[in-house]
Structure 1
Amino acid sequence: MTSAPALPAGVRLRPLTPADAHALAPLNDAATPAVPITAPDDLARLIALSALPLGLDRAGRLVGFVLALEPGADYDSENYRFFEERGVPSMYVDRIVVSESERGSGLGQALYAAVFEAARERGFAEVTCEVNLDPPNPGSLAFHGRLGFQQVGEQATKGGTVTVALLAAPVSGRSS
């Protein structure tokens, strides 16, 4: 991966806190079905569990975010458990969202650059995530492919209503 793109003018990367959950919920829910609809209280808990909760702020409004977890988090997710059981130390991206109006401006790549840097600093071998295969999300699969992610598994989740590709990308060999 090449170096991260500069953030567009007026956009800054900042840590998220559970207090941001109410502002994140509409942004999160607008990205359905790529990410699950999540109540603010559940988002607040996920932010608190995250080793790397980052938001993209434009003029006081959140326009994107990433929530990434380290191994050993108390998180009951089928996909997170897959990577825990796989046994490769990784930073797991539970969700990454960029508002529709900001897509294509390099913000997703900038969020992932921060994730890879944090994974490198913590000594993790990989960054991991999942992308929906059914319902299909070909744009996200292509985006992750450009970042070097490869499929390491596939599973049905949410009682068989969703099928995901489980993806991993190596941390080594990346420039920040």
Structure 2
Amino acid sequence: MVTTLRTGDASTEYRVRPLVAADAARLQPLNNAAAPAVPITSAHELAALIAFSALALGVERDDAEGEDALVGFVLALAPGAAYESENYRFFESRDVDHLYVDRIVIAESERGRGLGAILYDAVFEAAREQGRAEVTCEVNLDPPNPGSMAFHRRRGFRELGSQPTKGGTVTVALLSAPL
């Protein structure tokens, strides 16, 4: 599945495509530039995440040299994944069939073009196709990420609770959007 789309600026063309583990080295700088909204992650860890994701999509556009530049991605996991994330484990403990968005990242230069909404539309579509009851995720409360919180509220997410993570250095809101 490769989808070509245009947003805002009609001269910019984006492609949404499935990610494979070999994309991890290209994703790492994009992922790590988004910290602290997402954790710093090695290419090896990203490859493992992609491998056990129920949905792994990347957004590409041509760069100045005509190469495909990865400018966004989403990784979502189904229940039962071998993933030790504190936040994923919270949602697993609720015993509700969910599709968990582990991370969604859009390059700073590409934000405001609707790419996050396009990726979330794909997440909700996949969750429906898989027969899930809800989509789950977390958003940082401390350090605060008010833009992401507002985005998720507009998409129908509600806060189930909060928890400290990473040894108490981060506090997250645990969110759910029923399907």
Which of 30, 47, 51 does residue 54 from structure 2 map onto?
51
Once the two structures are TM-superposed, the CA of residue 119 in structure 1 deviates from its matched residue by 0.1
Select the residue among 11, 18, 22 that pairs with 1:19: 22
The alpha-carbon deviation at position 87 of structure 1 amounts to: 1.1
Tell me if the contact between 1:119 and 1:127 (Cα under 8 Å) persists in the aligned partners: yes
CA distance in 2: counterparts of 1:140 and 1:57, whole angstroms: 21
Matches within 5 A, 1:84-99: 84-99=92-107
Match of 1:33 in 2: 36
Bigger RCO (CA 8 Å, 6+ sep): 1
Q: Secondary structure at the match of 2:81?
A: coil
SS in 2 for 1:151: strand
Superposed structure 1 runs of 4+ greater than 3 Å apart: none
When the two chains are superposed, the root-mean-square deviation of aligned CA atoms in Å is 0.8
Letter in 2 for 1:69: L
Matched residue SS, 2:161: strand
* Alignment: residue pair count: 166
Selected match of 2:90 from 82, 99, 105: 82
C-alpha distance in structure 2 between counterparts of 1:52 and 1:133, whole Å: 26
Aligned counterparts, 1:1-176, within 5 A: 7-8=6-7, 9-59=12-62, 60-171=68-179
Unpaired segments ≥5 residues, structure 2:
63-67
Cα separation, 2, equivalents of 1:131 and 1:146: 14
What do residues 98-148 of structure 1 show as CA deviations (whole Å, max 9, x unaligned)?
000110110000000000000000000100000000111111000101111
TM-score, with length taken from structure 2: 0.91
In the alignment, the residues of structure 2 paired with residue 146 and residue 127 of structure 1 have an alpha-carbon distance, to the nearest angstrom, of 14
The whole-number CA distance in structure 1 between the counterparts of 2:110 and 2:154 is 19
Shift of 1:7: 4.1
Question: Is contact 1:7-1:106 (8 Å) kept?
Answer: no
In the alignment, structure 1 segments of 5+ residues that lack a partner are 1-5, 172-176
TM-score normalised according to structure 1 size: 0.92
The AA in structure 2 aligned to 1:161 is T
- Counterpart of 1:47, as a letter, is I
